[in-house]
Structure 1
Amino acid sequence: MSISTTRPSSTQHGGGTTPPSGPRVAGPYVSGPARMAPAPRIPLWAAALFVAALLCAGLLLERTSAVRQYRFVSLDMATKKDALGSPRKRQLLAEMGLPDVHAVVPENTTHTSDLLEQARRDAPHSLVANGWPVLAIRTDHASLYAPESGIVANPGQRGREWERPAALVYYRDGQERLATGAGLRLHGGGSRAQGISYRLYFRKSYGEAELPADLFFPDAHGTTRRLVLRKEKTTVPGFVNMLGLDVMGLLGAQTPGYSPVVYTLNGKDMGLSLLSEHISVNPWKQKLGHDNFLLFSFNNNRGSNNNGRKEFAAMRTLSLWVRHVPAPLTMRQAERRMDLRSMCAIIFGSVYLSVNDWNQGACLLDRSQPQPRWAHIVFDLDQAFQNITPGQPLEQRPGWKFAFDEDRAVRMGLFLRLWKESPEFKDYFLSYVTHALNHTLNDAARERLFAHYEGMDRLADDTLFDIDLARRMLANRAEEVLEETVRDLKAPRWFTVRVDAPGSVRIDGEPGYTKYTGRYFEGQRVTVDPPQDDCGRFLHWEVDGARLEGRTLDLPVHAAMHIRAVCATN
């Protein structure tokens, strides 16, 4: 069978040649060898205009909310939520120009192990052996000091992109309690440029996502995901932050978990510091058992802003109410919105401790309560004991100055309005002050605080705490604060009441006194119950030498008084 290779003749139409079959080419048909029309030439100016239009479109697209959201989600996936070390995570990190910092990634595991070994060598072994809490931290030098990316070299930068991988080893009671990778960030406001305060973040991407809180803070409950390290900026009398938090807690303010610690950073001894919980939403979810609350931080005006819209709106509403509610403002009105005890604790505690930077901390509104009220949390008292000089004359003491400096702050604004407009609150606050000075912060209570830190100081070879100076600074603080309150708030004058008894008596409802010196504003009352032991048979009272019958004394204070319980010995 033969196959012809001759093109079959085409049917003629009007004497012309039939075009070849297939897709038709636009334009006139050209016969002969050059059957296709030449491609049109694009002018150079048109090509340039087209490229410029593409660039402009790209720039506009870059600014759209959709692209910004994509980048935000990509960063979130790359640094937090995506599978650890996955190809997708690494691709996102590469696209965004971020290093793959995850310690659990195989190529980083060896490096983290090396850093941990260096941290173990850095730890002050004498303090470790003595049982001191010690935290040794290691990170790459560039993570701290590289001009473009170091967190210490760029103290004004904040956020997750300014978190650097580190390794830490923690010792307590002479034992290594933790060795892990962690994220390291700068912490603080004005002190950031000094590179003395840091946050530690625990994540799966570094090794541990969360740790038991009692690992760092004995008797604490739940878990923790981040910690704050604050170097003590004030060295006298020592343990300044911790003593301040102790006092605030006794007075009724809420505080985070905290503990003294000595820490090193890349081999540098940072000295005595405070290790504490970070005040943020997640820890309070654990404390409260729910997330129906608002947490407003007063520190966020320094460039770090974690307050959300709801927090701002709620605090703004409270601030406007404090400023504009018609006078007279009553204590009952204020109690519906504010926990007045915690408010008084922070204000009076700051005056007692002479804190010159006290409008910090946070406010918590637990909306699960039938009548939610803002409660105060205090966490930064490194400026305490700044203006307490033993024996300083009244005219040279700042007194309430630093509180008055914050008169536009919400809680101080509320306090000043109540002080001026509510006689009920004025009596409440003056009673709070005298009870705090006479019973909560009396000599015995202060000695219990000092004893704890004196014991720790002995373990550090008596290098961290001057107990004698601490005693001198606070020995006459009750009288000083009362004098300052009379001068600055125009409170009534005050008087001393002394009580002697052969056995333990209860004074103002507080037990355990045989010798007592209390201080009261004029018009306040002192109550004394008869001795319960070591008295034999109670006979009567003597008040300034005059005999008074009855078992319980309830007397107004209008002058200095001496009260004595008289008992029969047989």
Structure 2
Amino acid sequence: MKAVYILLIGLLSSSVLWGQDSLLLKATPEAGFYSTGVAVELKASNASAAIYYTTDGNRPTTQSKRYQGPILIDTTAVIKALAFANGKKSTILTHTYFIGEDSITLPVLSLSIPPYVLFDPVRGVFKRGPRAGSKFPHTGANYYSRKEYPAYVEIFETDKKRVFDSKIGFKIFGGMSRIFPQKSFSLYASKSRYGTKHVRHRIFPEKKQKKYKRLVMRNSGSDFGETHFRDALITSFGKDIGLEVQAYRPSLVFINGDYWGIYNFREKLTRHYLAENFGYHKDSVNLIEHHKSVQAGSRKTYDAMRSFMRQNSLASDENFDYINTQMDVANFMEYEILQIYIDNQDAGGNIKFWRPMEEGGRWRWILFDTDFGLGHYGRFGFRNNSLAFHTRPNGPRWPNPPWSTLNLRSLLQNKNFQANFVSRFLDRLNTTFDSTSIIPRIDKMASVILPELPRHWERWNLTSKRWQKEVDRMKEFARKRPEYMRTFLRERFPQFGRDVDFKIQVDSGGIVELNEVIQVKRTFRGIYFQQLPVRVKAKPYFGAQFSHWEMDGERMDGKELSIRFSDTLHTLKAIFVPGEHPAVQQMIINEISFSDSASGDWIEFYNDSDKDLDISNWVIESTNKQTFTFPAATIKSKDYIVVCKNEERFKKAFPSCKNFIGGLPFGLSSEKEIILIYDDLANPVDSIGYHFSKDSAKLIQTIVLRDFNLDNNTIKNWGKLQRGGSPASVNPDYIKVKKQQDWNRFLGYAKTGGITAAIFILIVAAYLVVGKRLKRS
């Protein structure tokens, strides 16, 4: 053993392990943004090393320019350098220096790649090349290449700091958009090929994700030269309604130091996207593109489902229910509603859908490549009957061949689905697709890229006039499309009757949930169809209770209603009154552990009443809307119940705790969290929120309520422990508080003259203490 120890010490102190035998190369100053020119000094760890460098994107060799002294950089450029000494060479150093680019407001990606890869007239992938067809779309052109090339990328954030740099794979990306002078491209991280397993940076601030296997730098597809954010705008609607979409962030790209314009960071839709966004292993998902192109896994269950549709009518509820076990019908319905609304004439076959390889897995659709929507086809696109287009039984060919409309045509055979489809379409027209929602979003997204657009227009010989025309066209589409869509729906489904103007008014005590998807906080006004019922549900805030409804002045009771309209104008009012939930003292959030590495996260509840409480189907909701539903369970009078994340770890940490339930599907933040409790009818019961600084959170493992009678939504009423808690038993802080309360009560009695009662309390307390000590002895 001693010999092994000596060997390890020798290895640790060796030059190999410490890198002293490696040839290192450093540049001063670092890559970044500079107001004026800089002199870049290159220095190798071996003073006798020869250093060679390039500034055109080419890989440095001994044939490149030899470093003799500081390199003056007075315009944006990329330095790539390599050192040689004693038969060894350094890794290639790549630094981009941005000179006079202080006005840039977007993140920047600097791509360095040998120029011949892109611009060689015979082989360059940015060129048409000699093998291209003479007529559009120039079949055989170089830019249709699928070949991957090694490149180097540096990413700079809006604060001008370099946040990622690495060798990476580069490949031209896109379909017909490859014909545009500004080409889209994709980036591929690979440990084996490039030494980098992921692009490690939080590219999209709205997502927690900090690493990506694949990314796309998109030229806005068919929207190139137009708004440059049309697809991002449309997919933001998809995100709002729960569809899978690509994250978006506008940026600037420089290639070998040359400005290359505005690009859009987008996630690349591969099996890695599914792994990164939904937690599945990359080899445990099926991903299909277009008609039957398998990108990952298998299409076996998809083919079987489609075969069933062709051979069986979904007018039968039994057949429809079976299909719902194979595909997520609600997801597909939302997907089709959005594609029809935006009049995406390219949606028929330009599709991606996926399914996890697990029992009960269902096919879901991913929204992408929507540039043909929102008026791209022309000013009067809002007049197009896309409902007929997406349900046509015989297109007969692109963009809506029969295979591409089969799913929706089959589902619409079912009367219940027809009602749900039309009802949800009207919901979306009244909210997500309403012009009062869309136009402010257009303005907001336009304002982000507007400061950078003049330079982009100049680079690609574009005009501000065309950009403004396309932005205005999208706004006009948003204003006029809903009326046309309701007409198309009435014509296709006349059984649902004429328009109804429906208003909802809500007082300050809660919200109204309309058709399960619209949250009405104050007022709502929308158009529905007379023969199509709407569903409303009153949801009181904490500290309030629902009283009743008033429909056109008439009282209606019941928290949930299904309303059938009798006229063309109706007003519904929801009336709430102050009041706590009856079980507010029976289900108290009493102790929370969020940083105990031994037990994992858990929440303790206490019943401070004299009655047992059935909490079956009650719900815990977290800050990010994740939920836990209680199974059949009862919290007994003056007793506790604990819900934990990891049952095995919890049992090991607290073997004496028996009254607990495992399976909490979310973790608890140590810094900021809101926990809400709802009963089985979705009435709010209890809540607690906390917010600690990062430094404070490091010192806290558990927080405990000092007294059951205190307001647990006031953080000063909680004790902060630097140790594990006491699940399903009395909190130590509670005992301390009770002792202090008893002493205060004694002093109070003595002060007010109740000396006899005070002495009696002391005698009883002394008797209990002595009794306990005698019992121990």
Fold in common (TM above 0.5) = yes
Aligned to 2:496: 492
How far, CA to CA, are the matches of 2:506 and 2:245 in structure 1?
39
How far, CA to CA, are the matches of 1:550 and 1:322 in structure 2?
43
Aligned to 1:506: 512
Note closer, same or farther for the CA distance 1:325–1:377 as it changes in structure 2 (3 Å cut): same
Aligned to 2:407: 414
Note closer, same or farther for the CA distance 1:393–1:206 as it changes in structure 2 (3 Å cut): closer
Deviation at 1:158, TM superposition (A): 4.0
Aligned to 1:226: 214
**Aligned match for 1:517, one of 525, 550, 555:** 525
Q: Which segment drifts farther, 524-533 or 136-145? A: 524-533
Deviation at 1:164, TM superposition (A): 2.3
Note closer, same or farther for the CA distance 1:174–1:399 as it changes in structure 2 (3 Å cut): same
**Deviation digits for residues 491-531 of structure 1, max 9, x if unmatched?**
73441323263725515254444332112123222355679
Aligned to 1:167: 152
Aligned to 1:137: 111
How far, CA to CA, are the matches of 2:452 and 2:539 in structure 1?
43
**Aligned match for 1:126, one of 103, 128, 134:** 103
Q: Which SS does the other structure have where 1:360 is aligned? A: coil
Aligned to 1:316: 303
Report whether the alignment pairs 1:289 with 2:280. Answer: yes
Report whether the alignment pairs 1:198 with 2:185. Answer: yes
Note closer, same or farther for the CA distance 1:118–1:333 as it changes in structure 2 (3 Å cut): same
Report whether the alignment pairs 1:341 with 2:301. Answer: no
- 1:298 counterpart letter in structure 2: E
How far, CA to CA, are the matches of 2:421 and 2:238 in structure 1?
16
Q: Which SS does the other structure have where 1:517 is aligned? A: strand
Aligned to 1:432: 424
Note closer, same or farther for the CA distance 1:490–1:237 as it changes in structure 2 (3 Å cut): farther
How far, CA to CA, are the matches of 1:524 and 1:337 in structure 2?
28
Would the aligned equivalents of 1:163 and 1:183 in 2 still touch at CA under 8 Å? yes
**Aligned match for 1:150, one of 116, 124, 132:** 124
Aligned to 2:202: 214
Deviation at 1:231, TM superposition (A): 0.8
Note closer, same or farther for the CA distance 1:170–1:430 as it changes in structure 2 (3 Å cut): same
Aligned to 1:6: none
Note closer, same or farther for the CA distance 1:197–1:216 as it changes in structure 2 (3 Å cut): same
Q: Which segment drifts farther, 458-467 or 493-502? A: 458-467
Note closer, same or farther for the CA distance 1:521–1:496 as it changes in structure 2 (3 Å cut): closer
Structure 1 vs Structure 2 CA RMSD: 4.2
- 1:316 counterpart letter in structure 2: D
Would the aligned equivalents of 1:119 and 1:167 in 2 still touch at CA under 8 Å? no
Q: Which SS does the other structure have where 2:344 is aligned? A: coil
Q: Which SS does the other structure have where 1:185 is aligned? A: strand
- 1:375 counterpart letter in structure 2: R
Once the two structures are superposed, the pairs formed by residues 65-76 of structure 1 within 5 Å of their partners are none
How far, CA to CA, are the matches of 2:227 and 2:507 in structure 1?
36
- 1:563 counterpart letter in structure 2: T
Would the aligned equivalents of 1:297 and 1:363 in 2 still touch at CA under 8 Å? yes
Aligned to 1:352: 341
Tell me which protein shows more strand as a share of its residues: 2
Would the aligned equivalents of 1:294 and 1:366 in 2 still touch at CA under 8 Å? yes
How far, CA to CA, are the matches of 1:123 and 1:170 in structure 2?
18
Aligned to 1:298: 289
Tell me which protein shows more helix as a share of its residues: 1
- 2:326 counterpart letter in structure 1: R
Note closer, same or farther for the CA distance 1:541–1:279 as it changes in structure 2 (3 Å cut): same
Deviation at 1:282, TM superposition (A): 3.1
**Aligned match for 1:382, one of 332, 357, 371:** 371
Q: Which segment drifts farther, 407-416 or 514-523? A: 407-416
Deviation at 1:333, TM superposition (A): 2.0
- 1:290 counterpart letter in structure 2: H
Once the two structures are superposed, the pairs formed by residues 239-254 of structure 1 within 5 Å of their partners are 239-254=229-244
Note closer, same or farther for the CA distance 1:440–1:558 as it changes in structure 2 (3 Å cut): farther
Deviation at 1:311, TM superposition (A): 2.3
| Larger Rg over CA atoms | 1
How far, CA to CA, are the matches of 1:419 and 1:140 in structure 2?
54
How far, CA to CA, are the matches of 2:100 and 2:188 in structure 1?
20
- 1:136 counterpart letter in structure 2: S
- Which residues of structure 2 form unaligned runs of 5+? 1-56, 67-77, 82-91, 128-140, 455-463, 578-777
Deviation at 1:341, TM superposition (A): 1.8
Deviation at 1:372, TM superposition (A): 1.9
Note closer, same or farther for the CA distance 1:297–1:452 as it changes in structure 2 (3 Å cut): farther
Would the aligned equivalents of 2:59 and 2:80 in 1 still touch at CA under 8 Å? no
Would the aligned equivalents of 1:123 and 1:264 in 2 still touch at CA under 8 Å? no
Aligned to 2:484: 480
- 2:364 counterpart letter in structure 1: A
How far, CA to CA, are the matches of 2:175 and 2:357 in structure 1?
30
Would the aligned equivalents of 1:260 and 1:275 in 2 still touch at CA under 8 Å? yes
How far, CA to CA, are the matches of 1:312 and 1:568 in structure 2?
52
Percent identical: 15
TM-score normalised over the length of structure 1: 0.67
**Aligned match for 1:453, one of 435, 442, 445:** 445
Q: Which SS does the other structure have where 2:477 is aligned? A: helix
Q: Which SS does the other structure have where 1:364 is aligned? A: strand
Report whether the alignment pairs 1:331 with 2:320. Answer: yes
Once the two structures are superposed, the pairs formed by residues 181-192 of structure 1 within 5 Å of their partners are 181-192=167-178
Q: Which segment drifts farther, 218-227 or 116-125? A: 116-125
Deviation at 1:563, TM superposition (A): 0.9
Deviation at 1:199, TM superposition (A): 0.9
Would the aligned equivalents of 1:102 and 1:206 in 2 still touch at CA under 8 Å? no
Deviation at 1:471, TM superposition (A): 4.0
Q: Which SS does the other structure have where 2:202 is aligned? A: helix
How far, CA to CA, are the matches of 2:557 and 2:265 in structure 1?
53
Q: Which SS does the other structure have where 1:482 is aligned? A: helix
How far, CA to CA, are the matches of 2:269 and 2:547 in structure 1?
53
How far, CA to CA, are the matches of 1:261 and 1:479 in structure 2?
36
Would the aligned equivalents of 1:112 and 1:181 in 2 still touch at CA under 8 Å? no
Report whether the alignment pairs 1:261 with 2:238. Answer: no
Q: Which SS does the other structure have where 2:412 is aligned? A: helix
Deviation at 1:226, TM superposition (A): 1.9
Q: Larger relative CO (CA 8 A, sep 6+): 1 or 2?
A: 1
Deviation at 1:445, TM superposition (A): 4.5
Deviation at 1:248, TM superposition (A): 1.4
Deviation at 1:246, TM superposition (A): 0.7
Aligned to 1:89: none
How far, CA to CA, are the matches of 2:286 and 2:304 in structure 1?
15
Deviation at 1:411, TM superposition (A): 6.1
Deviation at 1:350, TM superposition (A): 0.8
How far, CA to CA, are the matches of 1:435 and 1:562 in structure 2?
16
TM-score normalised over the length of structure 2: 0.50
How far, CA to CA, are the matches of 2:574 and 2:112 in structure 1?
67
- 2:268 counterpart letter in structure 1: H
Deviation at 1:419, TM superposition (A): 0.6
Deviation at 1:324, TM superposition (A): 2.6
Aligned to 2:270: 280
Deviation at 1:150, TM superposition (A): 1.9
Q: Which SS does the other structure have where 1:342 is aligned? A: helix
Deviation at 1:376, TM superposition (A): 1.1
